[in-house]
Structure 1
Amino acid sequence: MENSRPKPTVLVVDDVPTVRESLAIALEDAGFEVASAGNGREALDLLGQREFDVLVTDMWMPEMDGLRLLKEIRGTRPKMRVFGVTGGGPRLTIETMSSLAEVWGAERVFLKPFDDDELIAAILAPRPAKGA
């Protein structure tokens, strides 16, 4: 029965509270169970406590950015899907950060501001085949 399946779980990581809350609301409205963290360190703490189906992480954050978070979890959570979001940052261009995020396991990086529906559609879409 379709309704008896557990809701997919998503961890949203962003240092801007309004962005984090907006994403969480959109994902909850789409039927996901959502937890959130303000940076990569908080995300690692949550990831140590439970499993998530999907990680949506900002790439530029204090303490631990999204790229470092991806490096930390790569290999330990092969089934978790990862999506990045970025509005740019101080050290690398958006293009460079997006490329690095994909190298470290992000399926796609969305540039802020982005349409929540696009992110939700990407999460709901089947995982792309490796090398596709």
Structure 2
Amino acid sequence: MDDILMVRESLSIALESAGFSVAVASNGREALERLAEEPFDVLVTDMWMPEVDGLKLLKEIRGRFPGMRVFGVTGGGPRLTIEAMTSLAEIWGAEKVFLKPFDEDELVAAIRGTRA
């Protein structure tokens, strides 16, 4: 999930090419609506988005879907430093936060639990 269309499309292609079934959302509110309709094993989310940002989404997911694996991606944002955002995301349960631009193979490997 990312609010930037190009990032969503690129990530979707990379994950589908790696054999994953993919559903996309453009913001946190849309992601929560999709999650209410259909369970997912893994969520990849941008940490800075309009409406519901990645940290709010992460807290909501931990309450509603405690077993879901979550990975964050970020290029920074207006309220927190990248380091602070990454630390908070990991404290609240993100397995890892990737800094944009990131290597899609590394993200795929992290989701699979292997090294790129």
Tell me the TM-score normalized by structure 2.
Answer: 0.96
Partner secondary structure for residue 74 of structure 1: helix
Q: Does 1:56 pair with 2:44?
A: yes
Structure 1 match to 2:85: 97
Structure 1 equivalent of residue 67 of structure 2: 79
Larger radius of gyration: 1
How far the C-alpha of 1:75 sits from its partner, in A, is 3.0
- Answer 1 or 2: which has greater helix percent: 2
Q: Which runs of 5+ in 1 are unaligned?
A: 1-12, 127-132
Aligned alpha-carbon RMSD (Å): 0.9
> Percent of pairs identical after alignment?
75
Alpha carbons 2:86, 2:97 under 8 Å: kept: yes
In the alignment, which residue of structure 1 is the partner of 2:101?
113
* Residue-pair matches, total: 114
The structural deviation recorded for 1:80 is 1.1
**Residue aligned with 1:105, SS:** coil
Q: Deviations over 1:9-29 (max 9, x none)?
A: xxxx10000000100000000
Q: Return structure 1 stretches of 4+ with deviation > 6 angstroms.
A: none
> Any idea what the Cα deviations from partners look like across 1:17-68, whole Å, max 9, x if unmatched?
0000100000000000000000000000000001001000000001110000
The reply on whether 1:88 has 2:73 as its aligned counterpart is: no
TM-score when normalising by structure 1? 0.84
